């Protein structure tokens, strides 16, 4: 595996390294904008940021909270913790589990179909595309992409959310409060633009190319795609009641996102010490500080006319590089993504 460690150091977070506001603090100020909403969060597992996002949303009386994950047992664990939390009111909030694998287009289509079957007139106020994978140790592909070979980080981190979001557009358009799509990116996007739309998965279908697979570049490119999808959604839905925002969650040491990153790579990045423990000198933030940005992006009325913005440390981040918000490139990526999911989305 090539790790591209001469590329941007992910311990250098840029804007927001001194984040101090927590999800509870931000949500307390935005409570009136959170109550009674229908919210869907992907990537919900007990040790991830999705669980913290679910906790803070559930605490502020949503009408319906839909929690999606590959693992039904992990969703069940999170649901149990939410219902056991002090102040949870089952009369105000319904929680629904949604088994969903973003690496599988068939899984996404099945999940959305089941959701519409249960809620035929679903009106979705907030979609938080939180799920993601990071730096797979070797090349893997997704199982169904129109017969094309598609690298798994691109497939899971971009193509899956692209398909899910578009299939949920009818529900988003039914929101009476103005729907929001929140996509979680990363400062890791600095490691790679979308380098070639004719080879967006960074591989050629040859054994040699797979041997040279650069997992960091593949991850970085998928995070650039999250930003470009936000730009694409902003252009597609201008004036139609759907806004889109990206969130840089910062580097959180307590999540399982880095489970695929080899220990030696984490040590070189400064995340872990020689004994494998977390490096106390690394600029980690807490899950509560990270998810504060989710809450701002999903609910803050001050963002109503700022669709396309990226939120870092609970504030607009003006440092995003041009290649990650280029509207022309966003349109080209949109067209490629439609080809790979085998469906056009015109609004």
Model confidence pLDDT, tens digit, residues 169-211: 999 999 999 999 999 999 889 988 987 687 766 655 555 555 6
**92 has a pLDDT exceeding 70:** yes
> How confident is residue 116, by pLDDT bands cut at 50, 70 and 90?
very high
Dump pLDDT digits (tens) for 241-262.
999 999 999 878 655 555 556 6
**9 has a pLDDT exceeding 70:** no
Dump pLDDT digits (tens) for 301-334.
999 999 999 999 999 999 999 999 999 999 999 9
At residue 180, what are phi and psi to the nearest 5 degrees?
Answer: -130, 135
Cα separation, 47 vs 63, in Å, equals 25
**54 has a pLDDT exceeding 90:** yes
Cα separation, 6 vs 192, in Å, equals 12
- Assign residue 204 a region: left if phi > 0, alpha if psi is -120 to 50, beta otherwise? beta
Residue ranges of E strands in the chain: 38-41, 64-69, 94-99, 126-129, 179-184, 242-248, 310-312, 315-316
Domain ranges of the chain: 23-340
Average of per-residue pLDDT values in the chain: 87
Residues of the chain above pLDDT 70, percent: 85
CATH 3.40.50.720 fits 23-340, yes or no: yes
Contacts by residues 9-12 (CB-CB < 8 Å, ≥ 24 positions apart)? 9/269, 9/270, 10/186, 10/187, 10/188, 10/251, 10/269, 10/271, 11/251, 11/269, 11/270, 11/271, 11/282, 11/283, 12/187, 12/283
């Amino acid at each position: 595996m090539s790790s591209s460690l001469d590329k941007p150091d992910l311990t250098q977070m840029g804007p927001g390294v001194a984040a101090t506001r927590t999800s509870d603090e931000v949500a307390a100020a935005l409570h009136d904008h959170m109550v009674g909403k229908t919210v869907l969060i992907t990537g919900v597992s007990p040790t991830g940021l999705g669980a913290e996002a679910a906790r803070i949303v559930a605490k502020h009386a949503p009408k319906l909270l839909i929690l999606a994950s590959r693992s039904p047992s992990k969703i069940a664990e999170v649901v149990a913790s939410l219902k056991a939390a002090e102040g949870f009111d089952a009369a105000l909030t319904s929680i629904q589990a949604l088994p969903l694998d973003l690496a599988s287009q068939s899984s996404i289509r099945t999940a959305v179909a089941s959701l519409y079957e249960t809620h035929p007139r679903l009106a979705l106020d907030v979609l938080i595309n939180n799920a993601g994978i990071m730096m797979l140790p070797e090349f893997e592909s997704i199982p169904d992409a129109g017969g094309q070979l598609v690298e798994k980080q691109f497939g899971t981190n971009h193509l899956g959310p692209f398909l899910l979001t578009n299939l949920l557009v009818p529900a988003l358009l039914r929101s009476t409060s103005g729907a929001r799509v929140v996509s979680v990116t990363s400062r890791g996007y600095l490691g790679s633009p979308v380098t070639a739309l004719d080879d967006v998965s960074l591989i050629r279908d040859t054994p040699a190319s797979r041997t040279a697979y650069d997992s960091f570049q593949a991850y970085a490119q998928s995070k650039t795609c999250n930003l470009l999808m936000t730009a694409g959604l902003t252009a597609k839905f201008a004036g139609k009641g759907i806004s889109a925002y990206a969130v840089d969650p910062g580097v959180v040491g307590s999540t399982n996102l880095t489970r695929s990153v080899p220990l030696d790579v984490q040590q070189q990045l400064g995340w872990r010490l020689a004994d494998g423990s977390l490096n106390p000198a690394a600029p980690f933030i807490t899950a509560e500080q990270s998810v504060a940005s989710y809450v701002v992006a999903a609910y803050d009325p001050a963002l109503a006319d700022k669709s396309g913005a990226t939120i870092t440390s609970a504030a607009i981040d003006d440092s995003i590089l041009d290649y990650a918000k280029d509207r022309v490139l966003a349109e080209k990526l949109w067209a490629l993504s439609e080809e790979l999911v085998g469906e056009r989305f015109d609004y």
